[in-house]
Amino acid sequence: MLFTKESDYAIRIVRALRSGEKIRAKDICECEEIPEAFAYKILKKLEKAQIVRVTRGTHGGCMLIKNPEELYLYDIILAIEPDFAITHCMRKSCSRNLPEQPCYVHAELLRVQKLLQDELKSKSLAEILR
């Protein structure tokens, strides 16, 4: 399973903001090699999730507003992909997984997804970015 490019860029943006200082979006894009148009879309989602604050104007910029001790990779990914799932059938009820005839592949993928979610929640951003 691969994370989307958007999730990857979101993690990079948060990494660039880890100091807590206000940084211009353009500078983040240069440092983290993210296309500017894509970065603004991602910043909007991170702002909606109350992970960053974006101020516009000549003295504007972006700041991490969530405490890195309380922020996990899972939070960042979920801000970008609210229906995060390792396969399509994990997102909605699967037509092949019926109560009278359960799909064992679905059950196994569900177990794997739970493990992945637990791992993404296991270390705070502060622990990862020492």
CA distance 88 to 78: 16
Cα separation of 22 and 69, whole Å? 19
Q: What is the pLDDT of residue 87?
A: 81
Q: Return the pLDDT at 31.
A: 94
| Interatomic CA distance for residues 3 and 8, integer angstroms | 7
Distance CA 100, CA 45 (A): 40
pLDDT at 96 > cutoff 90: no
Say which amino acid occupies 58.
T
Give the confidence band of 117 by pLDDT, cuts at 50, 70, 90. very high
- Kindly report, residue by residue over 17-54, the tens digit of the pLDDT: 999 999 999 999 999 999 998 999 999 999 999 999 99
Beta strands per DSSP E along the chain: 52-55, 61-64
Least confident of 69-78, 86-95, 105-114: 86-95
pLDDT digit string (tens) for 53-85? 999 988 889 999 999 999 999 999 999 998 888
